[in-house]
Structure 1
Amino acid sequence: MRTRPAALGVAAGVVLLVVGALLGRPDVAVLGAAPLVAGAWDLRRRPAGDLAVTISRPTLAANREAGSLRAAVQVSAPHGAVAALVGVRRAGRDAAEVLVRVDGRRELPLVVHTVRTGPQEVATVEVQGVGPGAASVSWPTEPVDRTALVLPLPVPLRDLPLPPRLHGLTGPHESRRPGEGGGLRDVHPFAPGDRLRRIDWRVTARRAPDLRELYVRREHAQAEANVLLVVDSRDDVGPDPWTWRGAEGPRPQDPTSLDLARQAAASLAQGYLALGDRVGLDDLGVRRRPLPPGGGRRQLDRIRHALALTRPAGDPRSRLRPPQIPSGALVVLFSTFLDDEASHVATQWRRAGHRVLAVDVLPSLRVRHLDLKERLALRFVMIAREDRLAALADHDVELVVWRDDPAVALARMSRRGRRRPGAGVPA
């Protein structure tokens, strides 16, 4: 279609031509002939055809703080089009608008920086073609959008806590039962079933010089840990408390509590799986089959993919009992603890004899813009939350605040788990 300036130029040429003919002024008529000739020429070379726009599949190039989604916008224009006006929107807001030259086909790079994880919109693109001399433009194309599943990026952790009981006949950790591969357990007289290579000749020579009795060295067995990661997906709140009511979502540049939970769970999964332990995943907000404990690189990929798909799914039914977990497993619960559900199941797990770690994933709050009533309401909510965390500590549930330095807290808990009963350590 013609643009408004081109249409006004043709209309002005017609008016000048008519006025010059009526008044007998050839000079005025000549002035109107130029816009008419230009308009006819533009009409003849006006492009004919449809525009087409596609967005390639995005790839994620991530670092520790944020991720960058990289894609390509491909614009195909009909013969004669010289330019295209490309508009990009994200999260319902205009992100960029650029006029680019098009010679049949043009590919534009699209880079989106995000701090969020899980399924999200990459961008929505609309394109409008421009003819020669900007005398004609096309109707905007239908909006083309593209979504991507952003996996949580693990952060490296140092020492990690272990459950009180280890399983398996082999593994990366030293257990308390006798076996092979671990540290020295004791020196014992030779008995049926002991191997000859376990004989300690120095102890034998010291205790039985006449070799009437042989002494063997016995070791601790190696074993692996079972770790169950439990994510509370019922809450997905941002750092602005006034968005918690649900009328308006958190800002795109702010990571939410569920984003922190995904990152924390992926980081712990990577740390335990790198040691050779078995890690499983469950969701406290959804009634579905959990991901059973497993090991290896593929298990980490499965956990990251399952974490990326974790999201609030309506108002879940209250649980009468906590999810069943393997015997002697270490339970790590990721929650904001804004209600009693997560603290209740953590207490039940601890009473059943499991070691339970509660990871607080509530973001750092921004309260400067809140009015007096909102501050008072937030204070009541935070007082109730602090009471829940204090009750968890009374039940011997260990707390880790992820927004602080979690590596230090986890390393301290790992040293506590290595202490054996005896030497002033209560059983």
Structure 2
Amino acid sequence: MTATEWVPTRALGRAVLVTGVLLIVGVVLGRVDLVALAAPFALGTAYALRRRPAHAPVIDLAAVDAHLVEGGEVAATVAVANPDDAGYDLVVVRALVSQWLRIDQYGLLPYARMSDDDASVDPAGAPRYAEALDRLATGDGDRRRPSGGVPDRPVALVVPTGTAAGFELHGTARRWGRQPIGPVAARAVACDGLLACRPLVAEPVGVPVYPVIEPFDADEAMPRAAGLVGGHRSRRPGEGGELAGVRIFGPGDRLRRIDWRVSLRARQLHVAATLSDRDAEVVLLLDVLTEVGHSGGVSGSASVLDTTVRAAAAIAEHYLHRGDRVAMLEYGPSARRLRPATGRRQYLTVLEWLLDVAPEPSPYEPYDQVFGPQLLSSDALVVVLTPLVDPRSAAMLARMARSGRIVVAVDTLPGTVSPPPKPSQWTEVASGLWRLERDNTIGQLREHGVPVVAWAGAGSLDQVLRDVARLASAPKAVLR
């Protein structure tokens, strides 16, 4: 910012106006007393403008880099540096924060003075105060008494020449998502309030807040385990820990598999046959067509999207911890997709992917080709997290069941939620009829072979997976 971007304030306009009026009236009327009365105004204005600032302050916004979870502590630093040889009278700063970041208090940071290395850089640029701003964030500098309060009003800072000042925001993250801190606006006043710089705005910083993971554990085996290695028992022979029987030793059998008791009794080498351990692919399909309910944050009521995201994070963590491959899909207009993978890196990727989940209502039919065989394996266990409010969601579940895939529907609709889109316009009778129709839809899905279970944390899918695994392993009838 150049010197031409410093604009006069109303105080300067009033001083010039009073001085000009007194001088003109004194000269026209020949009044020396009026000219003498105008002299202090002229001299005071000239003395205040003797050292005009050439550069505006440098503003910086930084959030503490931490893996925040819902209910965790969040902190951010707002710093302002003075890159000019002339001092500022006052710098007024105001920061906007997301409604899901409850800021409890703020504290003034100590001054950070410019070093000799900073002075060698062009004062017109922010790099001169890069180190000073870093020292300010770490608390190095002249200590000042911290103050508390909620920053719902602008904060006034005094930034002397060659220093940086600022304040820290402390609060609690109440809901998952990329919660913005900022933008931050600042305006400096100089020359005894006669000049002010144009408002400066720092871009907002997104703070990733990960969903709190509800306890979840599914003890049942995977219906179809088709990978090469893993922790699930399969029906295929191979190297594993599950005993399948004893057979005669043959070419390619390992010596450590010899069962010596049976071999001595039969007087012929026998080996213990085992079943291979396989991994499985789990696909979490998130229905984002409808958002129902009111979100109250981590300590309040949960909407459909809150339940969907938290349940998806818990299920993904469980199966990734067991060594399975997990993929993510969205049932909506954008049809976002995360490829299947395993390990901790995939778990962190899943959490980042869930931060961008948002409701996407659309009057058009969602793009169903993402569920094709080239993208969605026929052996995958598909867990659909849906409120079953939109009729298209039930039709999608029925189509996937008819295609031969293993589908489990998790009901994410809270029990006390009224029908969308405007619950206040629904009478009690209409709401009851809507719930009866929804119960009929769930019954029809179960008749099509799609189990529907409400999400209830740990053990929510145990009974469903037990039934699905039994049906998957049952012998199939063959027509001759």
Q: TM-score range by the shorter chain?
A: 0.7 to 0.9
State the alpha-carbon separation in 2 of the partners of residues 44 and 112 from structure 1: 43
Letter in structure 2 aligned against 1:230: L
Q: 1:115 to 1:64 in 2, by over 3 A?
A: closer
Please point out which of 246, 258, 279 is paired with 1:224: 279
Tell me which amino acid in the other structure corresponds to 1:232: D
**Are the structure 2 counterparts of residues 259 and 101 from structure 1 closer, same or farther at C-alpha, using a change threshold of 3 Å?**
farther
Offset at 1:120?
Answer: 5.1
Q: Distance in 2 between matches of 1:29 and 1:154?
A: 73
The alpha carbon displacement at 1:339 in A equals: 0.7
Aligned to 2:88: 81
**Residue 317 of structure 1: SS of its match in structure 2?**
coil
* Residues 1:173 and 2:232 aligned together: yes
| SS state at 1:129 partner | strand
| CA distance in structure 1 between the aligned counterparts of 2:451 and 2:75, rounded to whole angstroms | 37
Relative to structure 1, the CA distance from residue 421 to residue 146 in structure 2 (aligned partners, 3 Å threshold; closer, same or farther) is: closer
Matches within 5 A, 1:375-414: 375-376=427-428, 381-402=434-455, 405-413=456-464
Match of 2:425 among 337, 350, 373: 373
* Letter of the 2:288 counterpart: S
- Structure 1, unaligned runs of 5 or more: 241-249
The answer for the alignment partner of 1:243 in structure 2 is none
The aligned counterpart of 2:156 is 99
What amino acid sits opposite 2:68 in the alignment? A
Q: Quote the residue 1:327 is aligned against.
A: 378
Structure 1 counterpart of 2:353, from 289, 295, 306: 306
Give the Å deviation of 1:231: 1.7
1:78-131: CA deviation from partner (whole Å, max 9, x where unpaired): 422032111122469995421122124334435575444455533111111133
If the length of structure 2 is used for normalisation, what is the TM-score?
0.66
Q: CA 1:96 to 1:417, structure 2 compared with 1: closer, same or farther past 3 Å?
A: farther
Residues 13 and 254 of structure 1, relative CA distance in 2, 3 Å threshold: farther
Give 2:310's match in structure 1, choosing from 255, 263, 270: 263
User: Is the contact between residue 168 and residue 223 of structure 1 (CA under 8 Å) also seen in structure 2?
Assistant: yes
Q: Distance in 2 between matches of 1:382 and 1:34?
A: 81
Which shows bigger deviation, 223-232 or 300-309? Answer: 300-309
TM superposition shift of 1:62: 0.9
After TM superposition, the runs of 4+ consecutive aligned structure 1 residues lying more than 6 A away are: 5-20, 28-36, 417-422
Distance 2:56 2:225 in 1: 66
Residue 316 of structure 1 deviates from its aligned partner by: 4.0
**CA deviations over 1:188-217 (Å, ceiling 9, x no partner):** 454555444323233455xx3xx4344432
Following the alignment from structure 2 to structure 1, what is the Cα–Cα distance between the partners of residues 50 and 388? Answer: 69
Q: Secondary structure at the match of 1:407?
A: coil
Deviates more, 1:226-235 or 1:386-395: 386-395
Aligned residues between the structures = 404
Inter-CA distance 45–378: structure 2 relative to 1 (3 Å threshold)? farther
Deviates more, 1:338-347 or 1:212-221: 212-221
CA distance in structure 2 between the partners assigned to 1:331 and 1:387 by the alignment: 22
Aligned pairs (5 A) from 1:50-129: 50-56=56-62, 59-65=65-71, 68=74, 70=76, 72-76=78-82, 78=84, 79-90=86-97, 95-104=152-161, 105-110=164-169, 113-119=172-178, 121-129=180-188
Q: 1:84 to 1:170 in 2, by over 3 A?
A: same
Partner of 2:119: none
1:119 and 1:136 map into 2 onto residues whose CA distance is 38
2:438 is aligned with 1:355: no
Give the Cα separation in 1 of the matches to 2:409 and 2:79: 44
Q: Structure 1 residues 32, 412: CA separation in 2 closer, same or farther (over 3 Å shift)?
A: farther
Inter-CA distance 111–398: structure 2 relative to 1 (3 Å threshold): farther
C-alpha contact (below 8 Å) 1:337/1:343 kept by paired residues: yes
Structure 1 counterpart of 2:109: none
Contiguous gaps of at least 5 residues in structure 2: 1-6, 101-150
Counterparts of 1:229 and 1:262, CA distance in 2: 10
Residues 380-399 of structure 1 deviation map (CA, whole Å, 9 limit, x = unaligned): 55444443334334444344
Residue 374 of structure 1 deviates from its aligned partner by 4.1
| Counterpart pick for 1:159 among 217, 220, 235 | 217
- Separation (CA, whole Å) in 1 of partners of 2:40 and 2:23: 10
Of 227, 251, 256, which residue of structure 2 is paired with 1:197?
256
Q: Which amino acid aligns with 2:278?
A: A
The TM-score with structure 1 as length reference comes to 0.73
SS of corresponding position for 2:461: helix
Cα distance, 1:38 vs. partner?
A: 5.0
Instruction: Give the SS at the match of 2:203.
Output: strand
Preserved CA contact (<8 Å) 2:223 2:465 = no
Distance of aligned partners of 1:364 and 1:74 in 2 relative to their CA distance in 1, 3 Å threshold: farther
Look up the match of 1:212: 267
Once the two structures are TM-superposed, the CA of residue 372 in structure 1 deviates from its matched residue by 5.8
Alpha-carbon distance in structure 2 between the residues aligned to 1:322 and 1:138: 53
| Aligned pairs for 1:7-22 within 5 A | none
SS in 2 for 1:59: coil
Match of 1:291 in 2: 338
Provide the C-alpha distance between the structure 1 equivalents of 2:414 and 2:337, rounded to a whole number of angstroms.
Answer: 26
C-alpha deviation, 1:159, in angstroms: 2.6
- Distance in 1 between residues matched to 2:153 and 2:470, nearest whole Å: 58
Aligned partner (choices 389, 413, 437) of residue 338 of structure 1: 389
Q: Go from structure 1 to structure 2 and tell me whether the alpha carbon gap of 1:337 and 1:11 turns closer, same or farther (over 3 Å shift).
A: same
Shift of 1:341: 1.6
CA pair 353-70 structure 1, distance change in 2 beyond 3 A: farther
Match of 1:297, SS? helix
In the superposition, relative to structure 1, how do residues 172 and 401 fare at CA in structure 2: closer, same or farther (>3 Å)? same
